[in-house]
Structure 1
Amino acid sequence: MKKISFCFIILFAITFYSCDEVLEVELDDEIRSTQAITDIISLKSAVTGLYDMLQSGTYYGGEFILAQALTGGIADATGFRERYAQLDNARVPTSSAYTESNWVDTYALVNASNLILEKIDVLGLEDLDSKGSALFFRALGHFDALRQFGEFTDSNSEFGIPISTSFVDSKTASTISRSTVALSYQQIVSDLKEAITLLNYDSDKFLVSKGAAEALLARVYLYQGNYALAEQLATSVINNSDYDLNSDYNDIYDEEGSLEAIFELQFLETDGNNLTALLSTSPPEISANFSDFFQPMDEDGDPRSFKFYDSGNVVYVDKYGTLDSDLKGNAVILKLSEMYLVRSEARARRNPTNLSPAIEDLNTVRTRSLPTQPILVTDINNFDAFVDVLLEERSRELAFEGHRWFDIVRLQRATTILGIEAFRAVYPIPQREIAISNGVIAQNPGY
């Protein structure tokens, strides 16, 4: 077998790691599995396979979520694996085992989505939900790649990511160079806008829906710097009756598919997540940072600290279970409290001289957990002061859900908080991918 890489894995992404018989395609580096989708039944099975791909132990089933906490400074590598120590130091090498694996994950998802979209067109299959879901997942894969490996905060940068909108084999994949950041965002936004037109609103939180696509697009617009549309989309989700803030912050982890969840990746015993294996061993491979993250919450009596356990040696993360044998903790990918924080930031960006509307949204989230400790407008003198409060609130509200690193990067605090060189605010493209592409894929500056 050839070395597994982007150029290799995208050819076989369409196996989807699914247990469904229609997708049990024999793996071999010379086999094309394009025959896996032949009708509506196999098409729906293929879409189910996209959810399975998100569950990868190096994607939303584990390391992608934890990498952002490690590099973002709210987690510590307390085990013995070098890949986590590198992330903890926020000095990720071009040979990082994590980035090599996650690059494959994101582009496997993209290429699998491309195959579904191609088959829908070629076979003339009429299934708006499947098409909308595939567009959502292609956008998510590209977005996750962009915010890790591209200069996503600079719309003028040439260092975006390879954008793939057709199902490709390994030979073709090696010829795909990086797009600009602007063109990368353009494709992600286009896919989500089309997905919104195809999908329906749905109260089932375990499936991609129109509401989930709107929420993801709100997040994308915020990252892109399109604050008016970020506010507009976040407001649409906030006003959707399918969603409501839980009265207790921790209910979203204790109750599957709660009102607050917008899109929740469901794990069963048969396809269990890898999160508790990393967080709940003794000692855990990854723990919560004590002094900069857990202690301030604990001292405030913040119930958001209740999903963390201070053993006296390390702070365990209990969001996904308390034992390493707990396999069914769901990954919350989109939730309503994030939309309030998205809208809060968008409003502050649009009108930094009048922060009252932004602080009102922020307090909607904060006072659920700290009803007697709202942020007062008189305490926030300027936008920089607002960013300090926003980062703290996002840290507590979205901890260990895959946000922290991206937050401090896009809010331009990574270098000051972590003491790293500016170029390290973007992960390096895995050197393996550059070598396999014969230099078609260019490395990020500084690496």
Structure 2
Amino acid sequence: MLITTKLYNQLLMMAGALVLAGMFSSCKKYVEADLPKDQLEGSRVFSSATNTLAAVNGLYTFALKNASFITYQGDLLAGFSADEFTFGSTQYDDFTNNTLQAGNADVLATWKLFYSVIYQANGIIEKVPGSPVSDSLKALYTAEAKVFRAFCHLYLTSYFGDVPLIQTTDVTVTATAPRTAKATVLAAVAKDLSAAEVILPYGTVRNGRLNKWMATALLARVYLYQGNWAAAEAKATTMINNNSGIALQTDLSKVFLRGSKEAIWQINSADNNYVYGTSLPGTSLNYQVMIRPGLYNGYETGDLRKTNWMGSATVQSTFFYYPYKYKNASAPASAAAIEDYVLMRLAEQYLIRAEARAQQQNLTGAIDDLNVIRNRAGITPLVVGLSQSDVLLAVEKERRLELFGEGYSHRWIDLNRTNRANAVLGALKPGTWKSTAALWPIPQNEILLNPALTPNP
């Protein structure tokens, strides 16, 4: 989006003017603060240690604000585009039918959100070195900002393909930035995460400030998307062999609870306001997220994921299944039942390593990793001796069944990055699917503001 000097100052100052009181509990919780109505001068934001911390905290607040693409909407919107969900009304038909137009408001909001977070992150990366804080804090704050910048660029490329790589707040550059090759953007993402991984501290709090494990896990995902199989395997192995208490939950009903030992990165439910409760059945079919039959029927007999993570309901005489990984529509009475929205968890790391190993012809190792997930789900292990193509299809299946409704639709991204979208979605949606739908359209509003942007086919 076009960033003027005025808009950039507003984005940066809304972070800097956040008050510190109540932002963190022992620096372990995400901040909760309203954005200020007035703006401060840019030179004042980083003029003291207190203001500098407020700016960094403000980045967390803005990026992880309630009811945004990052705090649940992406799971549903991209899940409609894939073969995971349908919606009870026609509101999201453009996603469900893969007929998105460049004027779609949700696509525009997604683009703007990610680039707004990137600009705030860039402001911190540029300004923190000159702030009056210790060198160790400068390094920490910069590392945190780089993770956010990398995270947003990663998902922009996942949906739009080639996108502007923005690593500056210079409006004379950003206002006319052209699209950058996806491979170049992903290389920059990996570079940011690698730098942050060195600096970020080890930590055991899943729903607080960024730590080293979060950067490592995200790097494994990035390397997988790049097809850098050896690096993806290495980072996933680091996560699987971690000594920080991160491990698979044996009880599937506890995977998405606050403090779940399987979680790597969670968003505090005080910030996401239990928004995933919008998937739970209500009184009107119009607002219901429904699981596609192909996903529900894809589970083998006795699969515990089906019984633990899917629910069924009848609303207005229509029977359907719905996503039930998150079971609270509001704050539960018991603290033990509190759920935090999961951005990353360890099961994905096993699946990353399985795919990376299969691509490197380590089929036995890949099957071993798949069987860890299958054993946890209570289903029969795969046998050694499968071909590489069979193992890769098994990875695709387990990713679909294990990670549905997560990762801003792992499924949508997986189908596109493995060139399987035409085969799968073309068969499911023969009347509306076109190969060009694999990329969401660059928002028309952004093309009008920035003549250097070109549309997707």
TM-score (normalised: structure 2): 0.85
Q: Return the match for 1:241 from 232, 243, 251.
A: 243
**In structure 1, how many angstroms separate the alpha carbons of the residues matched to 2:434 and 2:90?**
25
Determine whether 1:198 maps to 2:199: yes
Task: Report what 2:99 is aligned to.
Answer: 91
Are 2:269 and 2:339, in contact at CA under 8 Å, matched by a contact in 1?
yes
Task: Report what 1:334 is aligned to.
Answer: 344
Task: Report what 2:380 is aligned to.
Answer: 373
Q: Secondary structure at 1:310's aligned position in 2? A: strand
**In structure 2, how many angstroms separate the alpha carbons of the residues matched to 1:316 and 1:34?**
50
Q: Write the deviation string for residues 273-317 of structure 1: whole angstroms up to 9, x where unpaired.
A: 433235544326352424211233374443344222111422222
Against the structure 1 CA distance between its residues 232 and 318, is the aligned structure 2 distance closer, same or farther, given a 3 Å change threshold?
Answer: same
Identity of aligned residues (%): 26
Task: Report what 2:3 is aligned to.
Answer: 7
Which structure 2 residues correspond to residues 30-429 of structure 1 after superposition, within 5 A? 33=42, 35-52=44-61, 53-81=63-91, 84-123=92-131, 125=133, 126=135, 127=137, 128-150=139-161, 160-169=162-171, 172-206=173-207, 207-242=209-244, 243-253=246-256, 255-268=257-270, 272-282=273-283, 283=285, 285-297=287-299, 299-312=301-314, 313-323=319-329, 329-351=339-361, 354-370=362-378, 372-378=379-385, 380=386, 382-401=387-406, 402=408, 403-419=410-426, 420-429=433-442
**In structure 1, how many angstroms separate the alpha carbons of the residues matched to 2:452 and 2:372?**
47
Are 1:362 and 1:390, in contact at CA under 8 Å, matched by a contact in 2?
yes
Against the structure 1 CA distance between its residues 272 and 397, is the aligned structure 2 distance closer, same or farther, given a 3 Å change threshold?
Answer: same
**In structure 2, how many angstroms separate the alpha carbons of the residues matched to 1:197 and 1:410?**
28
Aligned length: 419
Are 1:6 and 1:104, in contact at CA under 8 Å, matched by a contact in 2?
no
Which structure 2 residues correspond to residues 427-438 of structure 1 after superposition, within 5 A? 427-437=440-450
**In structure 1, how many angstroms separate the alpha carbons of the residues matched to 2:286 and 2:389?**
36
Amino acid of the residue matched to residue 399 of structure 2?
R
Q: Say what the alpha-carbon RMSD is for the aligned residues.
A: 2.5
Are 1:69 and 1:404, in contact at CA under 8 Å, matched by a contact in 2?
yes
Question: Unpaired runs of 5+ in structure 2?
Answer: 21-32, 427-432
Q: Secondary structure at 1:228's aligned position in 2? A: helix
Amino acid of the residue matched to residue 76 of structure 1?
T
Moved more, 315-324 or 84-93: 315-324
Against the structure 1 CA distance between its residues 15 and 315, is the aligned structure 2 distance closer, same or farther, given a 3 Å change threshold?
Answer: farther
**In structure 2, how many angstroms separate the alpha carbons of the residues matched to 1:360 and 1:208?**
31
Amino acid of the residue matched to residue 367 of structure 1?
N
Against the structure 1 CA distance between its residues 144 and 15, is the aligned structure 2 distance closer, same or farther, given a 3 Å change threshold?
Answer: farther
Task: Report what 2:452 is aligned to.
Answer: 440
Q: Write the deviation string for residues 328-381 of structure 1: whole angstroms up to 9, x where unpaired.
A: 742211111111100100011111xx41111111111121012x4112224x3x
**In structure 1, how many angstroms separate the alpha carbons of the residues matched to 2:231 and 2:301?**
37
Determine whether 1:26 maps to 2:33: no
TM-score (normalised: structure 1): 0.86
Task: Report what 2:430 is aligned to.
Answer: none
Question: Unpaired runs of 5+ in structure 1?
Answer: 151-159
